[in-house]
Amino acid sequence: MDFVYAFLVGGAICALGQLIFDLTPLTPAHVLVLFVSSGAILSGLGVYELLIDFGGAGATIPLPGFGHTLTSGVIQEMEANGFWGIFSGVMENASVGLVAAVVIGLLVSLLFNPKG
């Protein structure tokens, strides 16, 4: 059932994004900021963790999951280091994923010749 719950939660997030695209004049950049910010806000309120407990990867892989990752890192570092944890915790949890994205993007750009 874990796979079904992940599919339902991830699908609902993606369907919400598609509805926003279809029904509003918002651009992909607006939706990106909206989803990452909403994940961060819900994480700060303690609600997003409940969604992760239910939906697993369906909640952690889409854009709101990135906002949750950033916020949870800040909260953990603030508990450990106080005020300065705000600055050190932002990239604590997400650094490996960000480095992987940059390195893979670089390798793909070197291996393939983009058109246009």
Q: Which of 91, 96, 50 is nearest to 72 (CA)?
A: 91
Model pTM? 0.80
Residue 113 predicted with pLDDT over 80 = no
pLDDT at 2: 93
Residue 114 predicted with pLDDT over 80 = no
Angle between helices 48-55 and 63-81 (to 10 degrees): 120
- φ/ψ bin of 39: left (φ > 0), alpha (ψ from -120 to 50), beta (otherwise): alpha
User: pLDDT digits over 53-70, tens only?
Assistant: 999 999 998 899 999 988
